[in-house]
């Protein structure tokens, strides 16, 4: 099929800007909402396509490093003018959208449902990866690679029910971090992994993690109930293979959008179906956190020349 996605009535979550979250690790122990049985799949079909967003790139969230702890260290990824940008919309040529999760719905049997273990690293005051998928009762491990402490806060959310606090605890400074004797040169070595058990209540399938000390640190996750999913890459493309023939619903979710997009898809044995999703333009202010001049909170507050050097990556608004 080759159609644009439309937003169903039941979908979505909004970006919960301004809250401080991060995570140590999770075991999602809620009751599964959809039974799935593994079986051999021979001559299955494939679904390919892409996800795009129309219009200009959405306005980014930005945080003033001067008002947040560890400004110089965390400023290794920054604009160089005292701001840290949350790169939740990674848009390429033609509006292709990275980090969108495409999921097949309405399938109760197929290839083995095995997900790789999810590991999130805090590196240069950034959570990597930014988007994950997890199954109920799976474990997520978070490791601090930074020589600064992070404050772990986790939330679960859904569009209708809103957010619910899961936990809040510190992620200690990494004692193994090495400074190599060169200005802004560091060697990242992992600290001790930390794990936190949580329970996602019925009707909530999205969790988000953010740091209470460094609120520009986000990591999003969505629970999947079968192995037929894909996360779009830099080219916005996805591919889902070994799908038993049949009629299904294909859904896409992105952390920065308020709704899911969904469309029907028919899979035929040994053939490829094409599905393309197009998000409508995002206009206006998305968050209270946007870059703006403020003479009361400039780099001079840091003293010693007020330098913040983006030695790892120079962000551009």
Rounded-to-integer distance, Cα 5 and Cα 195, Å? 37
Q: Higher-confidence residue: 224 or 154? A: 224
Q: Higher-confidence residue: 205 or 68? A: 68
Residues 291-301, mean pLDDT to the nearest whole number: 67
Q: Please report the pLDDT score of residue 50 as a whole number.
A: 98
Lowest mean pLDDT among 1-15, 56-70, 261-275, 286-300: 1-15
Domains of the chain: 26-302 (2.60.40.420)
* Residue 134 β-bridge partners: 223
**Which stretches within 43-186 are classed as H helix?**
71-74
Rounded-to-integer distance, Cα 177 and Cα 187, Å? 6
Q: Higher-confidence residue: 289 or 310? A: 310
Q: Is the predicted pLDDT of residue 244 greater than 70, yes or no? A: yes
pLDDT tens-digit map of 174-225: 776 666 554 455 666 666 676 755 566 666 788 889 999 999 999 998 989 9
Q: What residues contact residue 311 under an 8 Å CB cut-off, 6+ apart?
A: 76, 184, 185
Confidence class for position 160, pLDDT limits 50, 70, 90 = low
Query: β-pairing, 118-122 with 127-128?
Result: antiparallel
* Residue 277 β-bridge partners: 51
Distances (CA, A) of 198 to 27, 152, 210: 6, 13, 16
The two structure tokens encoding residue 283: 């206009």
Q: Higher-confidence residue: 141 or 31? A: 141
Q: Is the predicted pLDDT of residue 138 greater than 90, yes or no? A: no
Distances (CA, A) of 261 to 5, 90, 107, 130, 195: 5, 18, 18, 20, 33
Query: β-pairing, 45-53 with 272-279?
Result: parallel
Residues 166-172, mean pLDDT to the nearest whole number: 81
Q: Is the predicted pLDDT of residue 59 greater than 70, yes or no? A: yes
Residues 29-53, mean pLDDT to the nearest whole number: 83
CB 61 within 8 A of CB 287: yes
Confidence class for position 317, pLDDT limits 50, 70, 90 = confident
């Amino acid at each position: 099929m080759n159609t644009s996605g439309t937003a169903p009535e039941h979908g979505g979550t909004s970006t919960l800007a301004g809250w401080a979250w991060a995570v140590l690790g999770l075991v999602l122990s809620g009751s599964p909402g959809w039974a799935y049985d593994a079986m051999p799949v021979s001559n299955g079909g494939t679904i390919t396509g892409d996800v795009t967003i129309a219009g200009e790139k959405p306005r980014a969230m930005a945080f003033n490093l001067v008002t947040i702890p560890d400004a110089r260290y965390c400023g290794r990824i920054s604009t160089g003018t005292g701001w840290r940008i949350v790169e939740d919309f990674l848009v390429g040529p033609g509006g292709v959208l990275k980090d969108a999760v495409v999921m097949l719905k309405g399938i109760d049997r197929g290839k083995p449902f095995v997900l790789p273990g999810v590991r999130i690293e805090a590196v240069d005051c950034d959570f990597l990866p930014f988007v994950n998928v997890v199954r109920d009762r799976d474990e997520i491990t978070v490791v601090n690679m930074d020589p600064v402490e992070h404050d772990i806060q986790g939330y679960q959310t859904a569009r209708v029910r809103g957010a619910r606090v899961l936990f809040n605890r510190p992620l200690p400074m990494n004692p193994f971090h090495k400074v190599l004797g060169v200005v802004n040169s560091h060697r990242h070595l992992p600290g001790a992994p930390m794990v936190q058990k949580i329970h996602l209540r019925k009707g909530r399938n999205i969790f988000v993690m953010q740091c209470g000390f460094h609120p520009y640190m986000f990591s999003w996750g969505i629970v999947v109930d079968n192995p037929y999913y894909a996360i779009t890459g830099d080219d916005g493309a996805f591919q889902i293979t070994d799908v038993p023939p049949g009629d299904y619903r294909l859904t896409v979710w992105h952390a920065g959008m308020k709704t899911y997009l969904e469309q029907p898809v028919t899979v035929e044995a040994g053939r490829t179906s094409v599905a393309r999703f197009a998000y409508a333009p995002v206009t206006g202010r998305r968050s209270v956190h946007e870059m703006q001049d403020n003479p009361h909170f400039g780099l001079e507050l840091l003293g010693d020349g007020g330098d913040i050097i983006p030695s790892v990556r120079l962000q551009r608004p």
